[in-house]
Structure 1
Amino acid sequence: MKKHDKTPISFARLALALANDYCSIYVINAEDDSYVEYSPSGDDKELVQVSSGKNFYEDLPQNCRELVYKEDQEYFLETFKKSNVLKALENGRSFSLTYRLVIDGVPRYFFLKTIRSDDRSIVIGVRDIDAEKRKELENEKNSRAYAEIAKSLASLFEIIYHIDIETGNYTEYSSSESFSKQGFGRSGNDFFERAKEDMKRVIHPDDRENIINKLERNVLLKALRKKGTVSLTYQQLVDNEYHYVNLLAFIQKADKEHIVVGVRNIDAEKSREAQSQTFSDIALALAKRYEVIYLVNIVTNEYTEYSASENYRKLKVGTTGKDFFAESQMNMKRDIYEPDLHMMSTVMQKENLMKGISTYGKVPVNYRLMLDGRPQYVSLYAVRPQDDSDHIIIAVANIDEAMQKEFAYQDMANKDSLTGVKNKRAYAQAEAELDDYIAKCTQPPFSVVVCDINGLKEVNDTKGHNAGDAFIRNACSIICNIFKHSPVFRIGGDEFAVIMKGSDYDERTHLMAELNKVLEANKHNGMVILAAGISDFDPDMDMRVQDVFERADNLMYDNKKICKALGDNK
């Protein structure tokens, strides 16, 4: 298999690639402009000639007047000139155009893409994009309408999100530079997934798990449909400081397809409330939330410890002490999980800790302590009650259970429970990421391998599903052992996909040969047999990962037919 280069593409190769997605294909002789029109026919998408002509560009104006929507005709003819097409095709580039044709008296949007197939031919593919284009236009219309709403709310909220319930696509309106820096962009997709990632970064550890759970898509929708609105108050990083914010979410009566989320900074209100509390009130409130609290005199370094947890009393830190900072440095060597020791040793130096409190008002930090013989996640929070106080308060909470749940949820969401490899959800995420790079023309080379297990149904029918599950795991092991440096995805019951980049992409010919070698040995030993197909990304022809996948899938099915003919998938 050769690496991608810029040599001209044959018409046969183009026809195979374009037949599934394009409703008309024109092949123009580059020397005399004569042309033939083809159209896919039947389930196999076989190309059938439907028309021809002596000069494509001379026939174009007449065809335009007959077929192109009247409002688009001038633009179509002005843009789709021979000179423009040839200029675009220089250096291997393509020419594309979106316009409307009149079909059964109704204008429909079509997309036209022109590429050079070889030295003598130019190939034009025409695709019906009416549904997706109209959805795009509708989204733009909704965005303009909501812009007016956002303006009226701007004085109340620092940031507003307009979220499509079905797709998760969103638009952001921000009146505060501080909030707009925290994450997201002016628009994007999968609001709930991106919000979860941002919340892990900017929401205070004490509030993080609760807010992430309440803003999970299904939980939020259930609450909105029951109550009409959802109001949440929590602490969030703003300009490197934790501020109290209030989030208000609702669904408009006139627009049931979108959620509106507004966030406003209420830190000043909370500060006024906090100032009315006495130091003992604060200590009492902290005692209910933290396992251990230290009251440290920053003039003498003397301290008092208040412990609410038996686990922390086992750390053998005294209830009072003469030098909190010196004793902490000694205790950390014994109690803190080794990979976190250097970081915590630096953070807990008196100069660094006081500088952090002076700059940000507080210092939050997560790390791991050795508790009950294993590392457990804890969160430390250091604060000075008043600017002129001689004391600081340092509180430590055990957040291990919440962190472990978070790690487990992340792992479960993208892992196939039977094989342990990535699942179809993870493949969709990887595909979307690659599609973004393709759209920006910044995607490095990659290949897609599609594998399908032969004989799984027979194993299930004759030996039972436990044997079938083992059969699937064995097949997965073969794939993982061959493509050791590439992500493997189980995308169906008996189907796997591999996205090869980097070193695996460079060695793809060798790796496929290794796979075939293993399968040939398995065939003689009566072990698992796979059908496989591979296809490379072609930036001149492929508009999305799905184009590459479909070619690999078709080649896999061709391989499967050969295996069946040879009796390899009984």
Structure 2
Amino acid sequence: MTDKQKQNLIHLLTEKLPLFRKKLKISQQELANMLEVSRSTITNIENRRSPLSWNLFLALILIFNNNEETRKLVEHFDLYCSSLNRFLLGDQKLKENPEAGRKNKMTMVFAGNLFSFFFVNPYSGAFEHYLKEEKEDRYYCQPKPIMGESIYEYKKQLIDEVVYEADAKLVDSFHTRANFIEIFEKEISKSVEFRYHRGNMTVWLRNDVLAGTDCQGRKVLIIVVEDITKERESFVQAEVLLKNGESPSSYAQIARALLLDYEDVYYVNMDTNNYYKFDSSSFSSTFELNEKKEDFFEDIQVRIANVVYSQDRETMRHFFNRERLLELLRQEKSDSINYRLVIKEELINYRSKAVFINVDNVSHMVVGTVNVEKQTRREQIYRDRIRSAMEYAGKDFLTNVKNKNSYLLFEKHLNKEIRKGINKPFAVVVCDINDLKQLNDAYGHEFGDEVIKNAAKMISRIFKNSTIYRTGGDEFAAIISESDFDQRKKLIKRLRRQAILNTKNGRFVIASGLADFQEEDIKVADVFVRADREMYKNKADLKEYQLFKPKTM
């Protein structure tokens, strides 16, 4: 993509930026929060006082192209033009460097404080880990992720190597199969904060775990790892003030430090349950100590019943269980919880964080409460960025074969060759896993995922010189050429023999169909339709055998 083409796109988006904001119904400040830049940056760009950088342009296109309201505008103004598409996908050097497009797109994911992220199958534990990499004072996504079969074993290794020993037990208890499956199935989010060794530095990280979708529209678990070292600084100040001595003036100083980052602050004497409450409205130059209140734990239960969303009340009561908190205090640990408040009939996302200190045999707890609605929106942006990045990477997360988007791109390329009459002989193979829905219903989605992975391996093993694509939940396709094309009839017979053998052995069954490109065909879809028709004939033949009764995968 030439510099002139980039400048033309930048100029067009700069001109239309207020229109896009209006369509999304967001302010300059809200857009700035999404991009993690200052409001003045957006103001200066819209007023033409500062140029829009190429990186910000890409981030904006990613946001607008992932929103139904603004995608039509992107298409109308041709902002996501073919040259930009090729630039992001790396089509120009696809054969020489297939990771080029992937790296460009994945780099856009790492904005702000994002440290790394994971895609996880919570049942099997299979994962991909993408890390931030610093080069010449700029951050990039590592070109290839760390891949593994068990996130749970991988996390244990990281805990042993880099997590502070004092935080290891907390982190280990968070990263369990049961916890991840609960988050996945209930579609909730949870987080844990801990200290991490980076060379000689101490870094505070937060793991936000949430359910998301991959490029096939299939649910996965996403772990977003953020650097929150700056956020923790105000609590560090509070800890220092507490250690300097317990006095009303020190409470006020604590609140001053914390109210820069939190809306409400509670100081609780864990021995007596007496507490002080501070809020941001009382933060002024004449800051005064509020009246001491009698029982924090009694009052917080009333607040939970009155304003916390009904589905979050049980977890909030557990979080503010006095015995649980005393145990954390004994260990000098901190903890946090995400929940929703009902405010004017709307659900608003909040987070409470508690730190515990024992000074001169007096037990203390400081709780900070903050509206995280903006962060929740940012997490959704992370979801969109990650999903978009994976889509354009052309890879299916579960099976590691190419995905449907990659198939469509290659189909488009091949259609051009067909129109020009320069295409080589090829055939299309279409495959479908029999009875996958019944398998999922009977044995669970974890078993079904293993069947899909093994089916991909079988097809790849037989058509080893061809690219395999997962085009749907239980559907695969391959465009066969060159050496596999010469052996195509033998290979399809081998695949079908294996399917019949599998019916007898109680293993998964793949129906398949093959069709050759013919002179009268004008596009790849013509060949695909015939192959699909042959696949359904084969599926009907296989139904004559016993219904899949799996013994093994």
Class of the TM-score when normalised by the shorter of the 2 chains: 0.3 to 0.5
Name the larger-Rg structure: 1
TM-score by length of 2: 0.34
TM-score by length of 1: 0.33
Whichever structure has more helix as a proportion of its residues is 2
Whichever structure has more strand as a proportion of its residues is 1
